[in-house]
Amino acid sequence: MGKPYARASSTPSAAPEAVDRWVHEVCALTEPDRVHWCTGSEAENAALTAQLLASGELEPLNEETYPGSYLYRSNPSDVARVEHLTFVCTRSQADAGPNNHWMAPDAAHAKIDALFAGCMRGRTLYVVPYCMGPLDSPYSRCGVEITDSAYVVLNMRIMTRMGTPALERIGRDGIFVRGLHSTGTLDPERRFIMHFPEELAIKSFGSGYGGNALLGKKCHALRIASWQARTEGWLAEHMLLVAIESPAGETHYVAAAFPSACGKTNLAMLIPPDSMPGWKVRTIGDDIAWLHPGPDGRLYAINPEAGYFGVAPGTNRKSNRNAYDSVTRDTIFTNVALNAAREPWWEGLEGTPVTDWQGRPYQAGNGPAAHPNSRFTVAARRNPAWAPESEHPAGVPISAIIFGGRRRTLAPLVYEARDWRHGVLMGAGVASETTAAATGQVGVLRRDPMAMKPFCGYHFGDYWRHWLAIGERLSNPPRIFHVNWFRQDEAGKFLWPGFGENLRVLRWMLDRVAGRVGARDTAIGHMPAREDLALEGLGISAAATHALLDVDAPAWRSELAHLAKEFEQYGARLPPALLDELNGTLRRLG
């Protein structure tokens, strides 16, 4: 065993002993040359940036048009989340569920500690204290990420409340999530993202990318937090949070769960179309929401994050003006291309790329110039539509929850659940075509319940039971809807214009919430009458409108038969109420 514990003189006075002890243990395992406790200060940020520029890991961008912004190119084998290497390590395999890869905790620790052994020799170990959520919110939760990547530190400073105030809160809370990360050698054969919900611990080795490495995000705020949320009576969800104000001055808060790269950032930053003057949309969050039943029987939400790690391709002045304007300064770009002016470039922008995401001279034959999962990291406060409610310690009351997926066929533009229980079935049935956000084939339809398939830290059967139980506690629950912005015609053209025009659909939802508009009762739920969606001016053909708002009964019967089959894998943990809902829908379909 190692030397007995003694507090190092370099440990900040705010550091609780539990954190310092753990840092000692990790030092003994990983053998770094130096230890740096992050304060989150400007000076620290500048020094780390200078260091990464000197080593060539960061590249400067055009100082005039993109001040304070840098390009980072990750290893070409390390550009997305790796679901096949992501494990939930609970004592009982059944608790992780068929929806997760599982390894026994002892075996997992042994396997990954062998990789961590001595891995920081010659390197600096950074201690990154962070708070997920407003520093003064009772709903916020803290963690400490230990990493040997300065790029991770820079990103964590944008994405979370990072530094001394978080360390001080850990002292008050007396509890924190332990996240250990090393980029290792970036060998995909020596890469694991492991979660130990019962120990509030994460160990991630061999990747420097996004959700694999910024441990506050998917690892803590979804996989570990979903587990905690279940035992504590709340929900941790892959949802955006948005404030929508009507011309009459009525504000509603909406949460929406779409799978990765399926439109959360875009909906959260929506700019109302010209046809809807007086409407205002403000962003609270673009990726993760923590939801709590409030004392008044409503559901309240906070965004645990402080920044956006957003998909770059497709972002432009027309599709997402707010994002486009947010990333013109103090932004880290990962795996984008460059134009001749050393400005970031990606597919969907005007102009031409000169250097591709791997740093090679751009050649069309090499594929897209920017990696399809290239991203920008930027502070939420840089968003012109940033909502001050993002800092409210009690969160915001949710009027509507939206589920959605990317589906060429079947799922209509919008439909509404009959009640919470039916809404849980709607969420459990979400399916979506895979995207570049995770390694693997793109465009394959797969079930992604509540957009949480890659992120739920426990058994989906238990998760749906928990959703149903939360509904029981809400005397004034949000209404639940399902949308699909991605219907296509035979030629592969989107039937719906999407982006700002999605507000037309949201207006219908808020009219439903306020009891101002009726609906057609269909087998799958309530749907808008064509005239209630106000589609004029969009140039959508009668055939396309029909397809967008139609329920194809035979196709839905086969969809639900598939869903029933998939439900079988959840065995006795599947709540019977979901099967009842499914069978009820089948009956209505005839």
Q: CB under 6 A: which stretch of 165-173, 386-394, 491-499, 579-587 binds ligand GTP?
A: 491-499
| Partner whose footprint covers residue 532, from Mn ion, ligand SPV, ligand GTP, none (CB < 5 to 8 Å by kind) | none
| Partner whose footprint covers residue 313, from Mn ion, ligand GTP, ligand SPV, none (CB < 5 to 8 Å by kind) | ligand GTP
Q: How many CA atoms lie within 13 A of 550 on its CB side?
A: 15
CB of 105 to ligand GTP, least distance (A): 28
- Please, what is the end-to-end C-alpha distance for the chain in angstroms? 69
CB 129 within 8 A of CB 157: no
Cβ neighbour number for residue 84 with a 10 Å cutoff: 11
CB of 378 to ligand SPV, least distance (A): 14
170 near ligand GTP, judged by CB under 6 A: no
260 near ligand SPV, judged by CB under 6 A: yes
Here's the x/- map for ligand GTP, 432-471, by CB under 6 A: it reads as -----x----------------------------------
89 is catalytic: no
Closest CA to 189 of 74, 111, 96: 111
- Whole-number Å distance between alpha carbons of 459 and 201: 18
- Whole-number Å distance between alpha carbons of 399 and 283: 15
Query: CA of 253: how far to CAs of 65, 245, 324, 401, 504, in Å?
Result: 34, 9, 23, 9, 16
DSSP-derived letter for residue 1 is -
- Contact residues for 16 (Cβ-Cβ < 8 A; gap 6+): 167, 170, 171, 174
Interacting residue with Mn ion among 44, 168, 237, 287 (CB under 5 A): 287
* Lookup: tokens for 36: 């740096």
Q: Which is nearer to ligand GTP, 538 or 553 (CB)?
A: 538
Q: CB under 6 A: which stretch of 199-207, 211-219, 344-352, 497-505 binds ligand SPV?
A: 211-219
Interacting residue with ligand SPV among 20, 95, 287, 389 (CB under 6 A): 287
| Partner whose footprint covers residue 263, from ligand SPV, ligand GTP, Mn ion, none (CB < 5 to 8 Å by kind) | ligand GTP
Q: Which is nearer to ligand GTP, 5 or 494 (CB)?
A: 494
CB 115 within 8 A of CB 192: yes
Q: CB under 6 A: which stretch of 106-114, 210-218, 313-321, 363-371 binds ligand SPV?
A: 210-218
CB 241 within 8 A of CB 253: yes
Site for ligand GTP in 501-520 (CB under 6 A): 502
- Whole-number Å distance between alpha carbons of 149 and 55: 12
One-letter amino acid at 352 equals T
Q: How many CA atoms lie within 13 A of 109 on its CB side?
A: 10
* Lookup: tokens for 530: 């064509």
Site for ligand GTP in 262-301 (CB under 6 A): 262-266, 286-287
Site for ligand GTP in 317-376 (CB under 6 A): 319
- Contact residues for 403 (Cβ-Cβ < 8 A; gap 6+): 256, 257, 258, 423, 426, 427, 430, 450, 451, 480, 481, 482, 483
Closest CA to 29 of 143, 180, 245: 180
Q: Which is nearer to ligand GTP, 235 or 349 (CB)?
A: 349
488 near ligand GTP, judged by CB under 6 A: no
Site for ligand SPV in 414-453 (CB under 6 A): 437
Q: CB under 6 A: which stretch of 11-19, 42-50, 308-316, 337-345 binds ligand GTP?
A: 308-316
Site for Mn ion in 242-261 (CB under 5 A): 260
Interacting residue with ligand SPV among 81, 223, 282, 292 (CB under 6 A): 81
Site for ligand GTP in 240-259 (CB under 6 A): 258
Contacting residues toward ligand SPV, per CB under 6 A: 81, 210-211, 217-218, 260, 287, 309, 437
Contacting residues toward ligand GTP, per CB under 6 A: 258, 260-266, 286-287, 310-311, 313-314, 319, 437, 485-486, 494, 498-499, 502
Active-site positions read 262
